[in-house]
Chain A
Amino acid sequence: MEPSLVTSIGKIQLEKPAMLASGILGISLDVFNRLYRSGAGAVVSKSLSTEPWDGYPNPTIFGINGGGWINAVGLSNPGAPNFAKMIEPNKDVPIIISLVGSIPEDFSTMIKQFKNSKVIAYELNLSCPHVAKVGLEVGDDPDLVKKIVSTVKNSTHVPVIAKVGLGTTHYLNTVSAAVDSGIDAITAINTIRAIAIDVETQRPILSNKFGGLSGTPIKPIALRCVYEISSKYDIPIIGCGGISTWEDAIEFILAGASAIQIGSAIGDNWIHVFNDINNGILQYMKRKGYSKINEMIGLAKKS
């Protein structure tokens, strides 16, 4: 029998384990449909704020020699109300809404705006490393994380995911605060705060100076975080950070992830990356004799 790519992240069911990471390609329902047809198990929206944000001026992205990217797009997004209206016609695509805000009420206000939209989960951005007052600055405050998660959990029956990253507070404290407050799953990790300096002009390249490092350079770090979280907490995990091949995806599953997210690899390999990863996982499962994804989750911790 053909192995199944179906996976579940707690109550969230996906036909395929690789989903689009937040911040990538996420402003058009037409593009979401295309990604779904291209093999994405779900798509995570750009992080939405209560009002539209323009983001930072260019340059907003920089390709590192040797691989990887530094970006400071600045959470540009059309705002939750506009986005909710755009996705209302959606019937087919499993959409996870990423939200960014400073206070608990920002998140609960936005969730109300999606009452007419088909949303399979919310992902709280507690980890963007390059915008003040939101993202990592929120995730670095475990007490605020507790308040946000509790408020959000009281606002919706839809599963809620916390996306954590590496900031000044140990990320496991953020995970702990989210788990204590009833979070349904954790996405780990976001980009890591970084900078690129041009030696000829002797200045930082990104208009915001600092950006988030993503892609292959962060994969071993992201993998370590997934391994640590799954060793310490009984919580479903979505692995994110530098995944670009099926081998990367399998590594994250073996470390304890139930699903994975793809971001930078789209810049390197375009959207074919979803089918390539799905096919690679299927061949691996056949070769190793697995019939379901959950037979592989966390196996690396037992060896």
Chain B
Amino acid sequence: MQRNLNHTKICVIEKVIDETPTVRTLIFSDDVMSSVLPGQFAMVWIPGINELPMSVMIAQESGKAAFTVRKHGPASTGLFNVKVGQQIGVRGPYGNSFDLKQGKLLLVGGGTGLVPMMRLLTHIKPNDDVTVLIGAKSKNEVFFEDLANDLLKNNPHRVIITTDDGTYGEKGFVTSMVEKLVNETRFDGIYTCGPEIMMYKTVQLAHSRGLFVQASLERMMKCGVGICGSCCVGEDLVCKDGTVFDGDHLILNMEFGHFHRNKAGILENY
């Protein structure tokens, strides 16, 4: 029987990688999750704790996938603490994916927003000239730098790190570096995922210069399948219409970059 992608599938964690003191990557085997498109997500069940929407991380062996989680609230801390041999449930994948342009590409990732950027790197063409911009608060929160360089080893590329406190890479916010880069280079495609204010500024900077830009949004998500409505942004549902939206669409959305909804569905300011 064909697998029902809405039915929770149990997977066993096979390997745990500590990326930073607060970020871990959990690797497991699953054919469906191993081949998802960049931007798609899964609903991840941590039995007895919660279920979370997670971008699907790459695992470099075939047939394997991963989730990269930062411990934050009770649910993400529950996933962070899952040990090798423990079971999690996955359903999906859900959502759309990035439109892949060719040529000069800029990928802007903040925190675990780097996950769909890493998957996107596995889809680039050999001639693409790729700049990966990684934003972090400080040196000990930088991760995926080596992975990005490794994935891009056959492409013309650069990986630029910015830290807010200047303890590693360039000092300052990632969006200041975005501004510098888009002033220097006419990129054929810009992709971003991370904190919404970062994405909002990136979309503004790119859109105002007429550059193609897409962002992968994150919202309060309960069902993941377009029923509960929790993840709406204006008239868009992140789970069904996204997670990836074009910059020229987002720039017209009055909620993007300004509001998110709480568990009860009430709009709150960022």
Binding site for B on A (CB under 8 A): 23-28, 30-31, 33-34, 46, 52-55, 57-66, 69, 71, 73, 76-79, 82, 198, 200-201, 203, 205, 207, 263-264, 266-267, 270-271
Contacts and interface: CB of A to CB of B under 8 A. Distances in A.
13 contacts: A23-B227, A25-B226, A28-B232, A58-B52, A59-B50, A64-B4, A73-B222, A73-B228, A198-B47, A198-B89, A200-B87, A266-B227, A270-B240
Given A58-B52, A79-B264, A207-B50, A27 B235 contact: no
B7 A63 contact: yes
Contacts of B5: 63
Nearest to A33: B235
A65 B8 contact: no
Nearest to B254: A30
Contact of B235 (A31, A55, A66, A267): A31
B63 interface: no
Chain A at the B interface: SS class: loop
A182 to B, nearest CB: 32
A60 B235 CA distance: 22
Pairs A-B, 7 closest by C-beta atoms: A63-B6, A58-B51, A27-B265, A30-B235, A54-B263, A52-B264, A25-B229
B229 A31 contact: yes
A66 B2 CA distance: 10
B226 to A, nearest CB: 6
Contact of B45 (A27, A77, A205, A264): A205
Contacts of A271: 226
Nearest to B240: A270
Given A54-B264, A62-B7, A79-B264, A28 B235 contact: yes
Given A46-B229, A59-B45, A78-B266, A200 B10 contact: yes
Interface string B82-105: 000001010100000000000000
How many B residues touch the partner, as a band? 35 or more
B227 A63 contact: no
A264 B48 CA distance: 26
Chain B at the A interface: SS class: loop
B230 interface: yes
A151 to B, nearest CB: 26
Contacts of B240: 270
A24 B265 CA distance: 12
Given A58-B222, A63-B7, A203 B47 contact: yes
Nearest to A34: B235
Nearest to B8: A205
Contacts of A59: 8, 43, 45, 50-51, 89
A30 B255 CA distance: 11
Nearest to B221: A58
B17 interface: no
B159 interface: no
B85 to A, nearest CB: 13
